[in-house]
């Protein structure tokens, strides 16, 4: 019926639309499936620390255990875990609602890079990777929101540390055609080639149980990409399984 009424030239166009519609539906289904997994993971992730915290508090209140540094350290660790989860969820819901205020100003990023290297070096275990900064202290200013750039770098460095047991994590920065590039490279587990197109998708994780165990939610890189793009930049990944990964992004010079 339809064919009879349409000019022949419109049919390939309609077929193309059909194919792209099917693709869209499949990708929405994927996101929906991952959202369901995320909620079930989050429920589990929230319940575990809550059970530990409640257990200790009840035992302390009943005098069943003596207060000790060990117990307080454990309580603090579980509370931090809860905090991280809540922060991730909050960022995600802001990003999804389109509410991520960006305040662009000319900023010099070198002091931020230095401060982050210092902060994250403290978090790496003694036999873990070394963290180094490899760039000139005279970086030209970029037009960016420094808090948002920090958020992106905290995500990238957090991942690099999480997925690298030894070797080095290197931050580099350089300018090229009116852009400042920043790259975070690691010598960690790497990402399989077929997975590279997915890493910036929300809720995507290479290995659901492993990455959940390491505190991952699959939200960080999706938010990072959005933040970089809102500042007029772009973010990229290169990686080789078992060898390491490099996440790089650029921002426009001021
Ligand atoms: P998560 O909170 O799970 O780390 P992200 O969005 O930050 O979420 O990352 C998504 C997934 O990409 C991770 O679960 C992990 O599988 C993979 N990934 C991210 N960064 C790295 C890295 N530096 N090395 C290896 N895999 C990584």
Q: What secondary structure does DSSP assign to 55-96, as a single string?
A: HHHHHHHTTSS---HHHHHHHHHHHHHHHHHHHHHHHHHHHH
pLDDT per position as a tens digit, 38-50: 777 778 778 888 9
How far is the centre of ligand 1, averaged over its atoms, from the C-alpha of 217 (Å)?
A: 9
| Percent with pLDDT over 70 in the chain | 93
Amino acid 48: pLDDT: 80
Amino acid 209: pLDDT: 65
How far is the centre of ligand 1, averaged over its atoms, from the C-alpha of 83 (Å)?
A: 19
Q: Tokens representing 194? A: 């077929």
How far is the centre of ligand 1, averaged over its atoms, from the C-alpha of 214 (Å)?
A: 10
Strand partners, 248: 183, 236
Residues found in the chain: 254
Cα 92 to chain centroid, rounded = 11
Amino acid 216: pLDDT: 65
217 lines ligand 1 (CB under 6 A): yes
129 lines ligand 1 (CB under 6 A): no
pLDDT per position as a tens digit, 134-146: 999 999 999 999 9
191 lines ligand 1 (CB under 6 A): yes
225 lines ligand 1 (CB under 6 A): no
Atom of ligand 1 nearest to the CA of 215: 2
Please answer whether residues 247 and 235 qualify as being in contact, where contact means their C-beta atoms are separated by less than 8 angstroms: yes
Which ipTM did the prediction report? 0.97
Residue with tokens 């790259």: 183
Please compute the mean of the pLDDT values over residues 59-87 and round it to a whole number. Answer: 90
Which residues have a Cβ under 8 Å from the Cβ of 28 and sit 6 or more positions away?
none
pLDDT per position as a tens digit, 229-245: 989 999 999 999 999 99
Q: Whole-angstrom Cα distance, residue 11 to residue 2?
A: 10
Measured in Å, how far apart are the chain's first and last C-alpha atoms? 59
Amino acid 57: pLDDT: 95
Residue 59 has pLDDT above 90, yes or no: yes
| Percent with pLDDT over 90 in the chain | 58
Which residues have a Cβ under 8 Å from the Cβ of 183 and sit 6 or more positions away?
170, 171, 172, 173, 246, 247, 248, 249
Residue predicted with more confidence, 209 or 119: 119
Amino acid 205: pLDDT: 78
Please answer whether residues 163 and 189 qualify as being in contact, where contact means their C-beta atoms are separated by less than 8 angstroms: yes
Amino acid 116: pLDDT: 97
Residue 149 has pLDDT above 70, yes or no: yes
Amino acid 136: pLDDT: 95
Q: Whole-angstrom Cα distance, residue 36 to residue 85?
A: 16
How far is the centre of ligand 1, averaged over its atoms, from the C-alpha of 14 (Å)?
A: 38
Atom of ligand 1 nearest to the CA of 206: 16
Residue predicted with more confidence, 4 or 222: 222
Residue 98 has pLDDT above 80, yes or no: no
């Amino acid at each position: 019926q339809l064919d009879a009424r349409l000019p022949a030239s419109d049919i390939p166009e309609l077929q193309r639309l059909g194919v792209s519609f099917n693709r869209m539906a499949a990708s929405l289904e994927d996101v929906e499936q991952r959202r369901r997994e995320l909620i079930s993971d989050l429920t589990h992730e929230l319940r575990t620390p809550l059970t530990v915290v409640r257990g200790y508090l009840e035992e302390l209140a009943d005098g069943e255990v003596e207060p000790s540094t060990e117990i307080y350290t454990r309580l603090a660790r579980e509370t931090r875990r809860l905090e991280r989860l809540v922060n991730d969820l909050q960022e995600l819901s802001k990003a999804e609602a389109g509410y991520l205020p960006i305040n662009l100003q000319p900023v010099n990023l070198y002091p931020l890079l230095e401060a982050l290297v210092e902060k994250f070096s403290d978090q790496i275990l003694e036999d873990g990777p070394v963290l180094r900064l490899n760039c000139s202290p005279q970086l030209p200013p970029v037009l960016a929101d420094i808090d948002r750039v920090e958020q992106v770098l905290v995500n990238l460095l957090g991942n690099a540390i999480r997925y690298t047991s030894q070797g080095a994590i290197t931050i580099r920065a350089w300018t090229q055609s009116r852009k400042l590039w920043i790259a975070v490279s690691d010598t960690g587990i790497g990402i399989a080639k077929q997975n590279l197109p997915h890493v910036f998708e929300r809720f995507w994780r290479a290995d659901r149980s492993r990455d959940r165990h390491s505190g991952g939610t699959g939200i960080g890189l999706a938010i990072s990409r959005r933040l970089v793009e809102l500042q007029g930049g772009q973010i990229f990944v290169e990686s080789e399984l078992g060898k390491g990964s490099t996440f790089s992004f650029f921002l426009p010079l001021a």
